[in-house]
Structure 1
């Protein structure tokens, strides 16, 4: 696919023809192949397409970037063009979210997330990551949840608070990485 506009048109046609996450995943993987050949193909944090039944965005994660636990309420396909993204999956219990599994998504790979998935993402690398995210609905308008990073309390997702928590978690990840790098550095004795 030579452009993001054509990629979005192919995704919209797929949905209009009755396709779903599996078919969209194939289109995302094709787009990631183009991205690997031409890194300037996808702009960072660009909304590529938005309608009632489809939302496509190019998202970047900074080095050691992390999000709070959240859900989407709709299916999604997450593809990574550059770097890596660790998805940490949870289930809700009476005591809060409990981790159930992890999945690393590397450059050139795409995964499907069901509408009931609860997860957080983390960039484990000292370099940024870039991905294409496609959702089966208008993600910003949907009813979504986030979990307070310190208390585990489930809240309605409020974008500015969510972004603030992303910044805090990323800063903590950077500080932890710096500390680990110092521990691993050879001593000057």
Structure 2
């Protein structure tokens, strides 16, 4: 017998496609998908022990679960090694992140320069929050955040993007050096 809260990746992708196709604006898409992404994350139906694998060099693992042929509507499982994280970055598209297993610290940043000098960026921290299982972060395009796993265990989160982030010309930032540079993810192979 199927659990009442069972919700598969295939069902989510169908709902994701329908939501994107319905012509909603970014805020409407995020509002509609937020509870659906949470439902998928909590169902656990998509999880695989291999999703906890992470690249020791970069400190995290990115596992592609779904992507449309035109690189839109991408879904990832992302694992974070203990004591590791990722610097401030944007996504170049809207994003929804749901905590699956373990706490992840998200720090939010605001860009304060006028963006007139390529490679230069001034950021100031604007908040932070520890996300746990079931917590949802819905981010419009342009949101800048950093992530850190401050626990002693590998953590896991579900990420949904309007477009695969390696095709959005997104950036990562160094607040101390006031720099901005291109940011491409290295994907883990589940072979």
Q: Does the alignment reach a TM-score above 0.5?
A: yes
Deviation, structure 1 residue 14: 2.4
Deviation, structure 1 residue 6: 2.8
Going from structure 1 to structure 2, the CA distance change for 1:41 and 1:12 (only over 3 Å counts) comes to farther
Q: Secondary structure at the match of 1:64?
A: coil
1:111 to 115, 137, 140: 137
Q: Secondary structure at the match of 1:54?
A: strand
Counterpart-to-counterpart distance in 1, 2:20 and 2:103: 27
> So what's the TM-score if we normalise by structure 1?
0.74
Counterpart-to-counterpart distance in 2, 1:112 and 1:42: 26
1:17 to 22, 40, 50: 22
Deviation, structure 1 residue 17: 2.8
Higher relative helix content: 1
Are positions 1:66 and 2:71 aligned together?
A: no
CA contact (8 A) 1:4 1:41 kept: no
Where do residues 37-186 of structure 1 align in structure 2 (5 Å cutoff)?
40=47, 44=51, 45-51=62-68, 52=70, 53-94=72-113, 96-148=122-174, 151-159=177-185
Structure 1 residues without counterparts, runs of 5 or longer:
161-189
C-alpha RMSD of the superposition: 2.3
Q: For residues 79-138 of structure 1, what are the alpha-carbon distances to aligned partners after superposition, in whole Å with 9 as ceiling and x for unaligned? A: 011001111011122472111111221111111011111111111211111111001123
Larger Rg, first or second structure (1 or 2): 1
Counterpart-to-counterpart distance in 2, 1:149 and 1:98: 8
Going from structure 1 to structure 2, the CA distance change for 1:159 and 1:49 (only over 3 Å counts) comes to closer
Structure 2 residues without counterparts, runs of 5 or longer:
1-5, 52-61, 114-120, 187-191
Counterpart-to-counterpart distance in 1, 2:122 and 2:105: 21
Counterpart-to-counterpart distance in 1, 2:101 and 2:12: 18
Counterpart-to-counterpart distance in 1, 2:18 and 2:83: 36
